Structure 1
Amino acid sequence: MNIRQALLEEHSKQQAQAIAAHIGKDTQRFGVLMSLFTGTEYRVIQRSAWVLSYVIRKYPSLLTPYLAQTIDLLRAPGLPTAVPRNILRVLQDIDIEN
């Protein structure tokens, strides 16, 4: 599955869950999602945020290498409102250790 193409294909809960299922706990696929999530395409960022929340809910440890970068996005100007909303949703469900 081409994750970017799947994100642009359809915007629905079913599609977001299907993409999240495809990513699963695969770190390489998750890396592709994070690359899209932190990219520059407004629509792709917006839709990947929803998928991100589904993946992290099931596999929270996948976010660990991207945690600082993800938190930094909360301060980034001009992002879709879906980004901070989903970042905060994800962070509320994971344990953050020092």
Structure 2
Amino acid sequence: MDHQTKHISAYRIFLSGLVQGVGFRSWTKRLAESYGLDGWVRNLPDGRVELFAQGENDVLQDFIWKLWEGPKGARVDKMEIIKEAVSHEERGFYIKY
């Protein structure tokens, strides 16, 4: 029996900088899927990108660090990270329009 408990966390993240029109959403989706995370990503009218991601805490921390890099041509100037309640409805990672 496996006695290690997986700590699942969820975060809402707002990214500012050059994050729209540079393929950020599709890049984020691929990155999140490679980490096995659930959630979504979308552009906001004010030029920011918003995303919700949940998964194992350690994996999520790595994913968040990777977000600073972004796709080629992007520049993340600011990241606002808000701890959220884990959602049992989220399965897979998708782009919201």
Note whether the superposition's TM-score is higher than 0.5.
no
| Larger helix percent | 1
Q: Which has the higher strand share?
A: 2
Bigger CA radius of gyration? 2
